Amino acid sequence: MKVSIDPDRCQGHGRCFSLAPGLFDSDDLGNGFAVGDGMVAAGDEELARLAQANCPEHAVLIEE
Amino acid sequence: MTTEITKPPVEDFATDWDHTDPTWVKDPYPIWDELRETCPVAHTNRYGGGWFPVTHELVSEIANDTDHYTSRTVVIGNGRPGDDAPPAPIGVVPPISSDPPFHQIARRIILPALAPRPVAALEPRVRELCKSLLEQVQDNEIVNGSSDYAQYIPANVVELLLGLPHEDEDLFRHFIHVALEGVDEPDPDKRIEMFTPLEEYITRVVEERMANPGDDLISYLLSVEVGGQKLAPEHIFGTVVLVLIAGIDTTWSAIGASLYHLATHPEDRQRLVDEPELIPTAVEEFLRFYAPVSMARLVKEDFDFHGCPMKKDDWILLGFPAANRDPKAFKDADKFIIDREVNRHLAFGLGIHRCAGSNLARLEMQVALEEFLLKFPNFELADESAVTWSQGQVRGPRNLPLRILK
Given pLDDT bands bounded at 50, 70 and 90, which one contains residue B82?
low
Amino acid at B400: L
Chain A residues at the B interface, defined by Cβ less than 8 Å, are 11-14, 17-18, 26-30, 50, 53-57
pLDDT band at residue B74, thresholds of 50, 70 and 90?
confident
- What average pLDDT does range B289-316 have in this prediction? 96
| Interface mutation target, options A6, A9, A13, chain B, most CBs of B under 10 Å | A13
Q: What stretch of H or E contains A47? A: helix A45-54
| A62 and A3 Cβ atoms separated by less than 8 Å | yes
Of B111, B342, B352, the CB nearest to A30: B111
**Residue B206: DSSP 8-state:** H
By the 10 Å C-beta count (0-12 exposed, 13-18 middle, 19+ buried), B406 is classed as: exposed
How many C-beta atoms lie closer than 10 Å to residue A5's C-beta?
Answer: 23
Determine the Cα–Cα distance for residues A12 and A27; give it in Å rounded to an integer. 9
Contact A54 B115 (CB under 8 A): no
Please choose, from the candidates B315, B247, B323, B321, the residue with its C-alpha nearest in 3D space to the C-alpha of residue B76: B315
| Residues from chain B contacting residue A17 (CB–CB below 8 Å) | 116
pLDDT at residue B1 tops 60: no
In angstroms, the separation between the Cα of residue A45 and the nearest Cα of chain B is 15
Least reliable range by pLDDT among A23-32, B8-17, B93-102: B93-102
Taking all residues of chain B, what is their mean pLDDT, rounded to a whole number? Answer: 92
Q: What is residue B184's predicted lDDT score, i.e. its pLDDT?
A: 62
Which tens digits make up the pLDDT trace of A29-58?
A: 999 999 999 999 999 999 999 999 999 999
pLDDT at res. B14: 97
Mean predicted confidence (pLDDT) in B272-285: 98
Q: Which of B111, B117, B346 is the closest to A56 by Cβ?
A: B346
φ, ψ of residue B305 to 5 degrees: the values are -110, 100
| Predicted pLDDT of residue B83 | 61
Distance CA(B165)–CA(B140), nearest Å, equals: 31
DSSP letter assigned to residue B21: S
Q: What share of chain B is helix, strand, coil (3-state, %, to 5)?
A: 50, 10, 35
Nearest to B359 among A30, A53, A56 (CB): A30
Nearest CB to B115; choose among A18, A28, A56: A28
Confidence bin at B31 (pLDDT 50/70/90): very high
Q: Is B272 helix (H, G, I), strand (E, B) or coil?
A: helix
Is the pLDDT score of B179 beyond 80? no
Q: What is the pLDDT of residue B391?
A: 86
Cα B222 from Cα B218, distance rounded (Å): 6
- pTM of the predicted model as reported, rounded to 2 decimal places: 0.94
Residue B5's pLDDT is 54
CB of A32 within 8 A of CB of A26? yes
Share above pLDDT 90 across residues of chain B, in percent, rounded to a whole number: 73
Query: Minimal Cα–Cα distance from B121 to chain A, Å?
Result: 14
Q: Are B76 and B19 in contact (CB under 8 A)?
A: yes
CB B357 within 8 A of CB B246: yes
How far apart, in whole angstroms, are the C-alpha atoms of residue B337 and residue B108?
35
Looking at per-residue pLDDT, the higher value among B163 and B321 belongs to B321
Q: Which of B18, B70, B71, B26 is nearest to B47 (CA)?
A: B18
Nearest CA in chain A to B56: A56
Q: Which of B62-66, B240-244, B294-298 has the lowest mean pLDDT?
A: B240-244
Pick from B342, B354, B359: which is nearest to A11 by CB? B354
Subunit contact A50:B358, Cβ cutoff 8 A: no
Calculate mean pLDDT across residues B129-155.
Answer: 96
In chain B, what residues touch A13 (CB-CB under 8 Å)? 348, 354, 358
Q: How far is B322 from chain A (nearest CA, A)?
A: 15
ipTM above 0.90, yes or no: yes
Q: How far is B151 from chain A (nearest CA, A)?
A: 24
Query: SS3 of B87, please?
Result: coil
Lowest mean pLDDT among A49-58, B188-197, B345-354: B188-197
Q: CA B222 from chain center: how many Å?
A: 26
Calculate how close chain B gets to A27, using CA atoms only, in Å: 8
